[in-house]
């Protein structure tokens, strides 16, 4: 702030000097006027000499020397008013630069200013206010309405509402349940709540973001260093033109005029302002770029390399499928398993419990629980003996029932994990858990290609079969599997990918940190990733959304485009003005005013980088509508899985059971699924279409609706025409074919809808160029509902513990 005030004071002083000198000249005292103008010029020249010497001591040379020569020449030639105008031009440009840079850094400054500094700690029966750095893990804290959460914690009492825009860029308040984790920096948007601290201030979310922002604010851009190199060439050129004008005309004033219009402020002011503006805009969207240099590199990316687990995939287990034996109920089996898992510390436990809650299944607390790490868990749930874990342990190495054996074999082939469930000493079902591809991953890969990325690859520690499933689902160009952290570093060094240019590596875990550090640009998924990966990266995405990578790249390219545009236009105008000054068309005084106008124009143009790129538009549903669609979508997923479950069991079901299950599937499809699809077409699709320019992006989804309706109609006719005594072998074969096909298209379509829900979530970026049907089908084949995929190494495999 001190520098800004000094530059502003110098600018005001020069203006006052010009006005005072003008008044003296009008009053008939030209000598006094010249003295005032000369003193102002000399004062600024001395200040500039100090700045140039300081730069030289730092081994930097700049174009400021041209301005110094122009002022010195004006004093030597008696052009005192011109010298004063040059001083105004220089100090005005510096003051304008300060203002523009401050505006460009506004978002970064706001992030720093919001850092929590105090907290309300609950001790015994009273509340004390303490400095945030005094908070220890385990402290009970009170967060009042409108206050920022001081440290990371878990909610102790009731559910709460938070404004997490400072952390994620999302404008809509987020609801957190009891025992839910809340990051520091989130603002309590509801009633006062109590939190249990789980981290100190230095280890909390917001402190990490602040450290990243501070690194970004102090980093020097390569574009600025490039400007210094250009200055070394521009100074001799200017002196040559000025000397030539003087020699050709014999008039030193022409040389002075050349020097006056030659100061390339567009190069030394506009480029840094545009790039810092880009850093600020990216921070607003939850993408922390550690300096304009990283932003420039990101803009030039031609190859993007992803880690798999936690980056392209969710990085957490999910119950993808439930297989039960004939006569068992899938919801009952899941409910019993989830009730028992409440007492388990295994990594699968949370996934099983979450799956039951998503289906609205009431859980009971187990008793007499005995857990064997690496094997399984058993206990009593509502008077029933429940046992779950690996197949060999659950059955005591007896053969599994045929439906469970088939599902178990499929889990092995797909690299998924299987949990066998037994109830009252009889195998009742199998839970298949997978690590689903992120709903937005397919769209991200498509958007990268549209943006000019030539090669998209994946590096993973998983085995080849698992890696290739994910790679083929997303249409990646290259996949390297079975890699250790050192192997990933070697792959980056060797150049993973075939495209020349900048390579970007995206990862989230501790094992990704070396590869992130070795890439041209390392991007860390920092919302839940390791501190080491965030520190090693050049860019940190603070929200758990992979599509922010595309936004960050769009912002980087827009900012660099504005920077280059400002430099080319400004420098071009300066060179043209030098030509006119050399032939005597432009006098020194006019040249000073002209150069000032050029400076103002290019700086204002550089500030255009503060606007979001035109290729992205934000569209969203209101919170209530969005929540209703999401809840209904989750509820329908269970019914969609039952379509395949019925097909799996149809071979062994009795005629009566087959008729009953087929009728249940038919009723679900006609009375629940199809009305949901029609509601989407009426309420959801128009919003996405209105956010797009050109072709309606919902065409592929509407086409899928028509195909689903056609297949449901076929199933309806087939089921209603079955003999009263049940389907025979021929009917069963045709029914299984139709059910499997319907299940496949439903899973694919639900994956596409997950992308749509994500795009219409508040604050999500909607690409204005819609992908075609082929791209949609290729890239969403393995999304959240499109089938089981691979595991993180710490829990991948086909048996549970």
- Which string of DSSP letters, residue by residue, matches 200-240? -TTTSHHHHHHHHHHHHHHPPPHHHHHHHHHHHHHHHHHHH
3-state secondary structure of 130: strand
* pLDDT at residue 382 is higher than 60: yes
Q: Which residue has the higher pLDDT, 227 or 280?
A: 280
Burial of 717 (0-12, 13-18, 19+ CB in 10 A): exposed
The structure tokens listed for 262 are: 């030659």
**493: nearest Cα among 463, 524, 514:** 514
Per the structure block, which two tokens stand in for 238?
A: 């200017």
Helix and strand totals (H; E) in the chain: 30, 24
- Rounded to 5 degrees, what are φ and ψ at 730? -65, -45
Q: Is the pLDDT of residue 782 over 50?
A: no
Terminal Cα-to-Cα distance of the chain (whole angstroms): 59
pLDDT digits (tens, 9 = 90+) for 535-572: 667 888 888 888 899 989 999 999 888 888 887 887 78
Residue-wise pLDDT for 638-656, tens only, equals 788 889 888 888 888 888 8
Residue 668 has pLDDT above 50, yes or no: yes
Q: What does the pLDDT read at residue 689?
A: 65
Q: Tell me the C-alpha distance between 515 and 524, whole Å.
A: 11
Which residue's structure tokens are 């450290």? 211
Q: Can you say whether the dihedral through the CA atoms of 336, 338, 342, 346 is positive or negative?
A: positive
Helix 588-606 vs helix 80-104: crossing angle, to nearest 10: 0
CB atoms within 10 A of CB 433: 25
Cα 787 to Cα 648: distance, rounded to the nearest angstrom: 15
At 471-482, the pLDDT tens digits run 888 889 999 988
Q: Which range among 158-162, 259-263, 331-335, 771-775 has the greatest average pLDDT?
A: 331-335
pLDDT band of 118, cuts 50, 70, 90: confident
Of the candidate ranges 266-275, 614-623, 700-709, 721-730, the one whose mean pLDDT is the lowest: 614-623
78 vs 81: CA distance, rounded Å = 9
Question: Which pLDDT value is given to residue 230?
Answer: 58
Q: How many residues does the chain have?
A: 801
Instruction: Determine whether 776 is an active site residue.
Output: no
Assess contact for 588 and 82: CB atoms under 8 A: yes
Residue partners of 497: CB distance under 8 A and separation at least 6: 303, 305, 455, 456, 457, 477, 478, 503
Options 98, 307, 434, 776, the catalytic residue? 307
Helices assigned H by DSSP within 691-780 = 699-720, 729-760, 773-780
Q: How many CA atoms are closer than 13 Å to the CA of 381, on its beta-carbon side?
A: 27
Predicted confidence (pLDDT) at residue 727 exceeds the cutoff of 80: yes
Count the Cβ atoms, other than its own, within 10 Å of residue 793: 13
Alpha-carbon distance of 369 to 354, in angstroms, equals 20
Q: Break the chain down into helix, strand, coil percent, rounded to 5.
A: 60, 15, 30
Least confident of 481-490, 716-725, 761-770: 761-770
Residue located via tokens 């300096």: 291
- Mean pLDDT computed over every residue of the chain: 78
Place of tokens 């390297």: 480
* 3-class state of residue 195 by DSSP: strand
Rounded CA-CA distance 396/81 in Å is 100
Q: Is the pLDDT assigned to residue 694 strictly greater than 60?
A: no
Q: CA-CA distances (angstroms) from residue 773 to 302, 451, 462, 703?
A: 25, 19, 30, 9
Residue 137: both structure tokens together: 């893990």
Under 8 Å between Cβ of 285 and 169: yes
The Cα–Cα gap between 189 and 171 comes to 12
Tokens found for residue 792: 């993180």
Query: By the 8 A CB rule, do 168 and 222 touch?
Result: no
Mean pLDDT of 181-199: 84
pLDDT digits (tens, 9 = 90+) for 165-177: 666 545 456 777 7
Beta strands in 551-671 (DSSP E): 616-618
pLDDT score of 711 more than 60: yes
Give the span between the Cα atoms of 522 and 533, in whole angstroms: 9
Beta bridge partners of 419: 431
Q: How far apart are CA 64 and CA 66, in angstroms?
A: 5
Is residue 192 classed as helix, strand or coil in its secondary structure? coil
Cβ-count burial of 671 within 10 angstroms (0-12 exposed, 13-18 middle, 19+ buried)?
exposed
**Confidence (pLDDT) at 787:** 31
Chain centroid to CA 476: 20
380: which 2 tokens?
């009593």
Q: What are the contacts of 248-251 at 24+ separation with CB within 8 A? A: 248/582, 249/584, 251/584
- Nearest Cα neighbor of 550 from 523, 513, 529, 516 is 523
Q: Which residues, at least 6 apart from 436, have a Cβ–Cβ distance to it below 8 Å?
A: 313, 314, 318, 320, 782, 783, 784, 785, 789
Q: Which of 61-70, 237-246, 562-571, 574-583 has the lowest mean pLDDT?
A: 61-70
Q: What is the pLDDT of residue 166?
A: 60
Q: For residue 88, what are the contacts with CB-CB under 8 A and spacing of at least 6?
A: 11, 14, 15, 18, 592, 596
Tokens of 268: 């030394």
């Amino acid at each position: 702030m001190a520098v800004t005030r000094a530059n502003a004071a110098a600018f005001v002083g020069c203006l006052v000097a010009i006005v005072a000198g003008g008044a003296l000249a009008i009053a008939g005292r030209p000598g006094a006027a010249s003295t005032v103008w000369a003193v102002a010029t000399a004062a600024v020249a001395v200040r500039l000499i100090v700045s140039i010497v300081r730069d030289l001591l730092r081994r930097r040379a700049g174009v400021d020397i041209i301005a110094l020569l122009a002022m010195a020449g004006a004093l030597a030639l008696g052009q005192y008013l011109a010298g004063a105008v040059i001083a105004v031009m220089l100090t005005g440009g510096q003051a304008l630069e300060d203002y523009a840079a401050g505006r460009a850094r506004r978002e970064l400054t706001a992030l720093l200013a919001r850092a929590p500094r105090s907290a309300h700690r609950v001790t015994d029966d009273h509340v004390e206010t303490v400095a945030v750095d005094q908070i220890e893990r385990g402290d009970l804290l009170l967060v009042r309405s409108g206050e920022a959460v001081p440290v990371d914690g878990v909610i102790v009492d009731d559910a709460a509402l938070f404004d997490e825009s400072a952390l994620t860029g999302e404008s809509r308040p987020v609801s957190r349940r009891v025992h839910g984790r809340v990051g520091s920096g989130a603002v309590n948007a509801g009633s006062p709540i109590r939190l249990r601290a789980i981290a100190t201030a230095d280890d909390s979310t917001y402190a990490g973001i602040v450290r990243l922002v501070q690194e970004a604010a102090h980093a020097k851009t390569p574009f600025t260093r490039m400007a210094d190199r250009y200055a070394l060439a521009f100074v001799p050129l200017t002196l040559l033109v000025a000397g030539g004008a003087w020699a050709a005309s014999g008039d030193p004033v022409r040389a002075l005029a050349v020097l006056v219009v030659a100061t390339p402020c567009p190069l030394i002011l506009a480029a840094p302002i545009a790039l810092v503006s880009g850093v600020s805009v990216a921070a607003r969207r939850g993408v922390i770029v550690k300096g304009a240099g990283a932003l420039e590199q990101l803009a030039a990316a031609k190859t993007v390399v992803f880690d798999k687990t936690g980056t392209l995939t969710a990085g957490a287990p999910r119950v993808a499928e439930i297989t039960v034996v004939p006569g068992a109920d899938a919801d009952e089996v899941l409910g019993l398993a989830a009730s028992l898992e409440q007492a388990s510390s295994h990594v699968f436990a949370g996934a099983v419990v979450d799956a039951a809650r998503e289906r609205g299944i009431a859980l009971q607390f187990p008793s007499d629980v005995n857990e064997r790490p690496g094997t399984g868990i058993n206990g009593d749930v509502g008077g029933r003996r429940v046992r779950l874990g690996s197949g060999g342990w659950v059955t005591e190495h007896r053969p599994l029932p045929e439906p469970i054996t088939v599902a178990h074999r499929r889990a092995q082939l797909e690299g998924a994990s299987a949990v066998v469930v037994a109830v009252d000493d009889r195998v009742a079902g199998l839970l298949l858990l997978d690590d689903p591809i992120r709903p937005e991953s397919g769209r991200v890969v498509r958007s990268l290609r549209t943006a000019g990325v030539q090669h998209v690859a994946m590096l993973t520690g998983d085995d080849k079969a698992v890696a290739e499933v994910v790679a083929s689902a997303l249409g990646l160009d290259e996949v390297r599997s079975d890699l250790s952290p050192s192997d990933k570093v070697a792959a980056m060094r060797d150049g993973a990918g075939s495209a020349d240019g900048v390579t970007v590596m995206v990862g989230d875990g501790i094992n990704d940190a070396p590869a992130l550090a070795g890439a041209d640009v390392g991007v860390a998924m920092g919302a839940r990733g390791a501190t080491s990966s965030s520190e090693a990266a050049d860019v940190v995405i603070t929200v758990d959304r992979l599509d922010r990578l595309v936004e960050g790249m769009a912002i980087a390219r827009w900012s660099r485009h504005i920077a280059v545009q400002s430099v080319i236009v400004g420098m071009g105008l300066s060179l043209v003005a030098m030509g006119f000054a050399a032939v005597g068309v432009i006098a020194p005084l006019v040249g000073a005013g002209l150069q000032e106008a050029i400076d103002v124009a290019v700086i204002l143009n550089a500030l255009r980088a503060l606007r979001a790129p035109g290729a992205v538009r934000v569209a969203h549903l209101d919170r209530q509508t969005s929540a209703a669609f999401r809840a209904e979508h989750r509820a329908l997923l269970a019914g969609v899985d039952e379509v395949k479950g019925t097909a799996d069991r149809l071979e062994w079901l009795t005629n009566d059971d087959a008729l009953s299950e087929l009728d249940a599937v038919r009723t679900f499809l006609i009375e629940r699924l199809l009305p949901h699809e029609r509601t989407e077409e009426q309420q959801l699709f128009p919003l996405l279409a209105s956010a797009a320019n050109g072709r309606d992006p919902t065409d592929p989804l509407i086409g899928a609706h028509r195909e689903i309706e056609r297949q449901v109609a076929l199933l309806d006719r087939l089921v209603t025409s079955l003999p009263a005594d049940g389907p025979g072998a021929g009917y069963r074969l045709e029914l299984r074919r139709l059910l499997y096909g319907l299940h496949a298209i439903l899973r694919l379509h639900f994956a596409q809808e997950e992308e749509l829900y994500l795009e219409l979530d508040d604050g999500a970026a909607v690409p204005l160029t819609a992908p075609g049907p082929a791209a949609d089908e290729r890239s969403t084949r393995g999304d959240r509902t499109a089938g089981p995929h691979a595991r993180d190494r710490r829990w991948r495999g086909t048996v549970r513990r």
